[in-house]
Structure formats: C-alpha cells, structure tokens
Amino acid sequence: MSVTLKDVAHAARVSISTASRALTGTGLTSERTQQRLTRIARELGYRPNPIARGLKTGQSRLVALLVHNLTNASFQVMAEVVQARLKALGYQMLLCIGGDDPKQESDTLTTLVDHRIDGLIVVPTGKNGPQLKALAKDVPIVCLVRRDDATDLETVLADDPQGAYLGTRHLIELGHRRIGLIVGRQDTTSGRERLSGYVRALREADIAKDDTLIHAGHFEPETGATGARKLLDLSRPPSAIFVANHEATLGVLRVTSERNIAIPDDLSLLCYEDMPWFEWHRPAISIVDNGARDLANLAVDRLLQRMDAKGNGNDGVREYRVGARLIKRDSCRQIDPASKPKPSIPKSKSSAAKSSAVKPAKV
C-alpha cells in the first residue's frame, strides 16, 4: 500500500497543507520543519503523485518527444540530447515511438493529452495536422526534422536542400554523371527537399535529370535494397549512388555485398546522415551530416521559450534551419566521366557471403 501525504502529515503531527508546503518547497514553513518533513517522508517511503500535483499546479513536469523509431541514429542522438537537457531543468521526458504511422501518431497524441504534458517535440508524419493544431492551443509544440504543412507550428529543420546539393556536387566533381538517388517519400519535407538539392546540383552541372535514377520510399533498409537493385539492374547503371538517409544505406550495402560490388572501385556510395558504424566500415562511408545534436538542442531551446509563462510562444511562429556539412571518407572515388560503370552481375549466396568483411543487418 502506497504512503500518502496524509500519512506523512500524521507521522509528523502537522496538517496536510503544512506537509505539502514543506515537501514542495512552497509556502511559509521554517527550514527546520522542512528538513524534518523531508526526513520523515524519506523514512516512510513517500513519493509525490505527479498527476495529482500536476492537477493542482497546472504543471506535470513531463515533456514528450515523439519520433518515428530508434533505428535511426539521428533519432537516438536527439533523444539523448533532449532527455539530458530536460533532466537538468527538472523535467522528465516521455519517449514515444510513432513508427512513421499516422494512426499510431494520432493515438499517441491522444494519450499524451491524457498525461497533461507540459510540452511536445514531434517528428510529424504530416498526416495529423488538425490534431496537432488543436493540441497546440493548450500545449507548446515544436516540430523537428519535418514540417507539417497543414499547421503553422514552429519547426526546426536541417538544411536538407543544401546538404543534398553539397553531396551531389561532390560526386559530380569526382567525375560522376550517372548518379542514383534513393530518397524519402515526396509527401515529406525531408524527401522533397533532399530531392530538390540533388536536382539543383545536376542542373548547375548541365546534367539532365533522369527519373530512372531516382527511387523514393520510406526511410528503411528495404527501401535501400529495392532501390539499389533497380538502379544496378539498369542497362546503364549509375557509377555512384547517393542514399538520402542511413537506414536505407544498410539495404544498399546488403545488395552490393550480395553482388560482389566493390565500394568504391565498382560503385561510389554517399549517405545522408551519419552513424558510428559508417566510420568503422571498410571502406569508411562518406556522409552528409545533418547535425542531429544541434537540431535537438535548438528544438529544446525553442520549446522552453514557448513553455515560458511570460513568452508562451507569442514571439511569432518561425522556422529554423541547422546547416548540413559534407564529410569525405573513403567510399567515393574519382572517375573518368567517359568511362562506363561495370555491369551489375548477381552472385551466388556462397560467393556473396565472402564479399564483405562487415555485413549490414538483415532487412
């Protein structure tokens, strides 16, 4: 049976209101009384009820972070940053996984309302704008990584157009002219903007856009595997593939391993978003870093500003961008633009198993 505030007050022979003021550090109680009540509460094993306290104070000290998954290393970094920042300020973070599923996202948002959260950082699916907009009337919200076009919520984004442009331009400068792109869905901010950066770099280099070199889908390993097969099975396969997120890169690496395609000798590979394993892989994989840590820190800064009783977000809705940067490693090589890429030849499972010292996860 749990110990209540009434039990603490009875043991200390004080009123419930005195016990409450002493244990919350509010009201007129002497330091001696506060220390005595704290000691008695600790001895009895009393733990405050955050829900009851939230109903009384109007603050739950709970802030939610809703992301698609924890497979994505960027989301892992963001969760660590948000949790550390909030903990230092006396908040608890509720980590929620939406699976990039609109129904799951909607159900989670409903649950968070019931928990009376003080704030929300969300990577939106883009399909529940009206629900987010309604929630934002009572709860400060900051969107992260993606914009929800049906709302005017404050949003923190990576500079995806510039990042994709830098990556594609790097491959062009290495002599590549047929550059495959595996990119996110075009109904998402990141999917559209990374495609736009790729197209911009091609246009500046007078390279015609070839839709057969572009494969769009969910950011997951299977998308990378499917896209890689389609690209490598073309009569004129690309000499380089730019994968617009690291989850899909795992699928690409599986296919190149199965087909005994050597990176970068047979195919140059560039990835958008980093994860520690990419630097350890041989060859180390070149990436466009989206600045996950900076994105998370800025999102927390903006949310705290909106949670401030004085400001409460009345400084106007804004969109913030965090710059992306190219990190060159060993997975992209200089080629003669006139040279023809080697054909993609499927290998047997026995030979494919020997083709890579490091095997990507199964999809």
Are residue 336 and residue 251 in the same domain, yes or no? yes
- DSSP tag of 220: S
Q: How many residues does the chain have?
A: 363
Question: Which element (helix H / strand E) includes 106?
Answer: helix 102-114
Are residue 193 and residue 335 in the same domain, yes or no? yes
CB contact at 8 A, 320 and 181? no
What's the pLDDT at 35? 85
- Listed in sequence order, the residues at least 6 apart from 94 whose beta carbon sits closer than 8 Å to its beta carbon are 62, 63, 64, 65, 112, 115, 117
Are residue 109 and residue 223 in the same domain, yes or no? no
CB contact at 8 A, 303 and 121? yes
What's the pLDDT at 208? 97
Are residue 88 and residue 21 in the same domain, yes or no? no
Q: Domain containing 260 — which CATH number? A: 3.40.50.2300
57: in domain: no
241: in domain: yes
What's the pLDDT at 45? 86
Mean per-residue pLDDT pooled into runs of 10, the chain (363 residues): 82 84 69 85 78 56 94 93 93 95 96 92 95 94 94 95 98 98 92 97 98 94 97 98 94 97 97 92 96 96 84 65 96 85 48 34 34
357: in domain: no
Are residue 69 and residue 32 in the same domain, yes or no? no
CB contact at 8 A, 229 and 255? yes
169: in domain: yes
C-alpha closest to that of 270 among 245, 292, 241: 241
Are residue 114 and residue 86 in the same domain, yes or no? yes
What's the pLDDT at 340? 64
CA 167 – CA 189 distance, rounded (Å): 18
Are residue 212 and residue 243 in the same domain, yes or no? yes
What's the pLDDT at 321? 95
CA 322 – CA 293 distance, rounded (Å): 10
Q: What value does the CA radius of gyration of the chain take, rounded to a whole number of Å? A: 26
Are residue 238 and residue 341 in the same domain, yes or no? yes
Are residue 43 and residue 71 in the same domain, yes or no? no
CA 27 – CA 39 distance, rounded (Å): 18
Are residue 336 and residue 232 in the same domain, yes or no? yes
Question: How far, in Å, are 70, 213, 223 from residue 220 at the CA level?
Answer: 12, 19, 6
What's the pLDDT at 351? 34
Total of domains in the chain: 3
238: in domain: yes
Token output for 191: 């999917």
Collapsed DSSP state (helix, strand, coil) of residue 63: strand
360: in domain: no
Collapsed DSSP state (helix, strand, coil) of residue 179: strand
Range of the domain at 258: 160-291+326-352
What's the pLDDT at 129? 95
Are residue 196 and residue 268 in the same domain, yes or no? yes
What's the pLDDT at 22? 79
Are residue 211 and residue 335 in the same domain, yes or no? yes
359: in domain: no
CA 239 – CA 225 distance, rounded (Å): 17
Report CA 200 to chain centroid distance, whole Å. Answer: 25
361: in domain: no
- Listed in sequence order, the residues at least 6 apart from 165 whose beta carbon sits closer than 8 Å to its beta carbon are 197, 198, 200, 201
